[in-house]
């Protein structure tokens, strides 16, 4: 099967997003259709070559759960709990913590639990 070049994928995603936004219909059915459309289209595109962007994406993917779990508490900490700090200091602290906390969560909790899960499940998979 012939596939489209990888660099056409971002414009396709943007087009689907713009089409959803342009309809003004942020209802469950329209959002569902947008997601299903993207899911159906994904296999029609080649993978991007390994380069700096793909390596950065892999890094973000590794720490994404930690980013997901920590960003709201860190926003609250930096922008709500420190009212006397200058805005530049809040942004600097938030940026630093967003680089440190998800990495720490991954290496201290997520990766060890993944290893435990592999050991536990190894006895069940033959």
Put simply, whether the predicted model's pTM sits higher than 0.85 gets the answer no
- Determine the average pLDDT of the residues in 57-75: 94
Cα 49 off chain centre by: 19
Whole-angstrom CA distances from 29 to 32, 36, 41, 49, 95 are 5, 10, 18, 34, 36
Task: For Cα atoms 85, 72, 107, give the angle at the middle one, nearest 5 degrees.
Answer: 105
- Determine the average pLDDT of the residues in 86-100: 97
pLDDT band for 48, please (50, 70, 90 cuts): confident
- Determine the average pLDDT of the residues in 53-79: 94
Alpha helices in the chain (DSSP H): 9-23, 28-41, 52-79, 87-105, 111-122
pLDDT of residue 126: 63
SS3 4: strand
């Amino acid at each position: 099967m012939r596939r489209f070049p990888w660099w056409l994928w971002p414009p396709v995603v943007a087009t689907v997003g713009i089409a959803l936004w342009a309809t003004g219909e942020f209802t469950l059915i329209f959002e569902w259709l947008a997601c299903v459309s993207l899911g159906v289209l994904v296999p029609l595109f080649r993978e991007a070559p390994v380069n700096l962007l793909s390596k950065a994406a892999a890094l973000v993917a590794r720490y994404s759960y930690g980013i997901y779990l920590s960003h709201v508490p860190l926003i609250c900490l930096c922008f709500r709990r420190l009212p006397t700090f200058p805005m530049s200091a809040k942004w600097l602290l938030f940026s630093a913590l967003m680089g440190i906390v998800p990495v720490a969560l991954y290496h201290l909790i997520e990766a060890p639990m993944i290893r435990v899960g592999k050991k536990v499940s190894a006895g069940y998979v033959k």
